[in-house]
Structure 1
Amino acid sequence: MSSNKPPRLSAVEAIRGISMMGVIGIHIGAEYLANPTPNLHLVALFDIGTRFSVPIFFFISAFGLFYGQNLSAPFSYRDFLRRRCHAVVVPYLVWSLFYIVHDAWHYGTGIPPLLSWPGILFFGNAKYQLYFMVILIWFYLLMPLWRVLLRHMTRPLLGAVFIAQVAFDYWSSFDTAFNLYVYSLPEGTLLRALLFYRLNYWPLHYVFIFLLGGWLALRWSAFRTLMERQARRLYAFGVLSLALLLAWYYKLILVDGYTPLETIYTAHQLSPLGILYTACASLALFALFTHLGTDNLLGRAFQLLGKHSYFIYLAHPVAITYLLMLIYGRGHVLTAPIALGLYAATLLLTLAGAIIMRNIGDHIPIVNALTIGIWKRK
């Protein structure tokens, strides 16, 4: 690895912030669908416009891993895994344990049998947002493969990976014969679990966006020049790809008669238009936040959100759970204004919690180590 530390890129931190905001939007949107007559435009905002947010995390993760690196330099796989274990595996296990215990108490279901814990942890099923960390761990475990691929990656080959990604994700998501086969398997069998939860742990669903992030990081100078010279085109592609995805969403509902729930299970990030939107949004947002910088209020706000995005991502289901208890306990239905208020309250409460916990962790380092994978340097 390179001994010279490359300059920090504010765009990476900002994208972490906006993608975390998108993840919260998806989960608020899932709760909002309990409303029997949801506002279709708000559903589009919560569940369609946010579809870049999970894949772009893999884009940014790969960018951070390969930014400033020399693939010809010596690479210690063991040291790499040790660092990633501290940063991701430890918080994953800690938060999984927290949610297993918390949900058992909160919902009165009791602690799951210990024999079921390996399956819960393997598939990331302790809470609905944790599967992302499982896929990320698989990406880390396969790091030697990504290094080989990126060492030989060319623009045409990357285009071929994009086509293969579209084909694979379409098969996994929409192939009727395959999905009927999965559902026909006996309940409780290992094969059914491995195939049914494939979205929770197969990194194959996100290989293209991960490799794109690594490929651009290794060509940072050329990527920066592209953003400087072609920023408007990148913005236009981002807006156009979103418009295409939204047009499909409205067609499914207004023309084809899909329910909002059926629509968001169709026009998702693994659909062909969803993959296109992810790629275009990644480039457009990188250009946008590179131009925005940090010398203004908006830029500093996204830096703050990015800094605390890890804790917010891990903790936001807690805020959603108790805020919904408060809303429903007062006899309210999750209308559009209340759903927007729920979103704002979730974001602000978890941001405040993240700041408080980070300050505690500065004095008690084990807190940061266990919750967000930041270990005090010796």
Structure 2
Amino acid sequence: MQEQAATAARPRKPRLAAIEYIRGISMMGVIGIHVGSQYLSNTAANVDLVALFEVATRFSVPIFFFISAFGLFYNLDLHAPFDFRYFMKRRFKTVLVPYLVWSICYLLHDGWLYGVGFPDPLHLLVLLFFGNAKYQLYFLVILLWFYLLMPLWIWMVRRAGLVSLTLLLLAQIGFDYWSSFSTSFNLFVYGLPDTSILKPFLMYRLNYWVMHYVFIFVLGGYLAVHIDAFMDFMKKQRLGITAFFWASLASLLAYYYQLIAVDGYTPLEAINTAHQLCPAGIFYTITASLFFFTIFTYQKYPAFLNPLLHQLGKHSYFAYLAHPIAITYLAMMLQHSGRIMTAPIAIAFYFATLALAMLGAIICRKIGEQLPILNELTIGVYPKKK
């Protein structure tokens, strides 16, 4: 009784498999983005495969914020007192502790592997603040900032409606466009001296400025609070949601191909422009969130995929955190073999990375059942109280 009051939660609602399945799909997309970065080392990389790895997957990071907000608000009573202290205590255990553990492990590993040693205390604090201990860890930093601002999101979701969400979307498009494409702003940032204290705070703004993803987070919370209306909407508008998803993907891909074929961009320059923060990318994220939630809710796909989707979702957190290890050693093996990462090798590289990350997740989860501290430190999972 005391715990329920502390979390300001209603009696728990039915479990939604869609949330778990989307986690798995998102994790797979993130691995695709990072494998795509490896593939781009080939100067003759196939632009279509680059589009698959680096453009079609661009919903992956922001959709994590969507389902994170959905999960937070799904069982939250907006009209009950919110115990911020208890809330943050739980989030620190599930996010902050694994973040610190994985960050230290990567710094130790990379310091040994690349011979750079362990950073000094001041440099360590900077790396931890911005999430730069490894390239995927910044997501947890932004997530922690979202948690710290939870009272603000509750206030916004309470008052959200069609008009306010539309205005928030327009503001989101404007802000992301300014942050990503403003020439004067970016010239100012890169023009700052390296000794400037301000420079890293602006250079790494994508690592901690929650403003880049406020709309998709608030949308997730709003739809969770209005779950009955959302369910009805998905059921009635399934075909429309599907059509808008494919149309938004086509729009983002068209932008990518235009940058290459018309504007003369390299594939690397094109993916750094046609990303999740450009206007087409924002709409792609929104439609992808609705699309995957719809198909996973109403099971418009073969049922035999459900066990696979369950496993991908269950182990997505560990696989997300651990997959750079697989990428590192697979890339070293490829380099030592003297082979260039061609398109077929890149595809095999992707599935090998996914398989190794999932295998590591399953093994560690099993060991963690006998040695609970392993799961506690790596994925924030604690034994259930009897």
Same fold (TM over 0.5): yes
1:1-378 alignment, distance < 5 Å: 1-292=8-299, 296-378=303-385
d(CA) in 1 for partners of 2:299, 2:177: 35
Q: Check conservation: 1:294, 1:300, Cα contact below 8 A.
A: no
Q: Check conservation: 2:22, 2:293, Cα contact below 8 A.
A: yes
User: Which string of whole-angstrom CA distances, capped at 9 and with x for unpartnered residues, describes residues 85-127 of structure 1?
Assistant: 0000000000000010000011111111122111100000000
d(CA) in 2 for partners of 1:173, 1:7: 40
d(CA) in 2 for partners of 1:275, 1:109: 38
d(CA) in 2 for partners of 1:74, 1:299: 37
2:4 is matched with which residue?
none
TM-score of the aligned structures, taking structure 1 as reference length: 0.99
2:3 is matched with which residue?
none
- Unaligned ranges ≥5, structure 2: 1-7
Compute the displacement of 1:377 (Å).
3.5
Amino acid at match of 1:157: S
Secondary structure of the 2:147 match is helix
Q: Check conservation: 1:132, 1:200, Cα contact below 8 A.
A: yes
Compute the displacement of 1:3 (Å).
3.6
Q: Check conservation: 1:10, 1:293, Cα contact below 8 A.
A: no
Q: Check conservation: 1:292, 1:299, Cα contact below 8 A.
A: no
Q: Check conservation: 2:295, 2:301, Cα contact below 8 A.
A: no
Q: Check conservation: 1:166, 1:272, Cα contact below 8 A.
A: yes
Compute the displacement of 1:294 (Å).
9.8
Amino acid at match of 1:362: E
Secondary structure of the 1:329 match is helix
Amino acid at match of 1:273: A
d(CA) in 2 for partners of 1:94, 1:49: 31
Structure 1 stretches of at least 4 aligned residues deviating more than 6 Å after TM superposition: none
TM-score of the aligned structures, taking structure 2 as reference length: 0.96
Compute the displacement of 1:289 (Å).
1.0
Q: How many aligned residue pairs are there?
A: 378
d(CA) in 2 for partners of 1:127, 1:7: 36
Cα distance change, pair 209–83 in 1 and its aligned pair in 2 (3 A)? same
User: Which string of whole-angstrom CA distances, capped at 9 and with x for unpartnered residues, describes residues 118-154 of structure 1?
Assistant: 1100000000000000000000000000001111111
Compute the displacement of 1:189 (Å).
2.1
d(CA) in 2 for partners of 1:303, 1:224: 21
Compute the displacement of 1:74 (Å).
1.8
d(CA) in 2 for partners of 1:47, 1:283: 21
d(CA) in 1 for partners of 2:367, 2:173: 45
Q: Check conservation: 1:11, 1:293, Cα contact below 8 A.
A: no
Task: Give me the identity figure in percent.
Answer: 58
d(CA) in 1 for partners of 2:298, 2:356: 29
Secondary structure of the 1:18 match is helix
Q: Check conservation: 1:28, 1:46, Cα contact below 8 A.
A: yes
User: Which string of whole-angstrom CA distances, capped at 9 and with x for unpartnered residues, describes residues 22-62 of structure 1?
Assistant: 00000000110000100010000000000000000000000
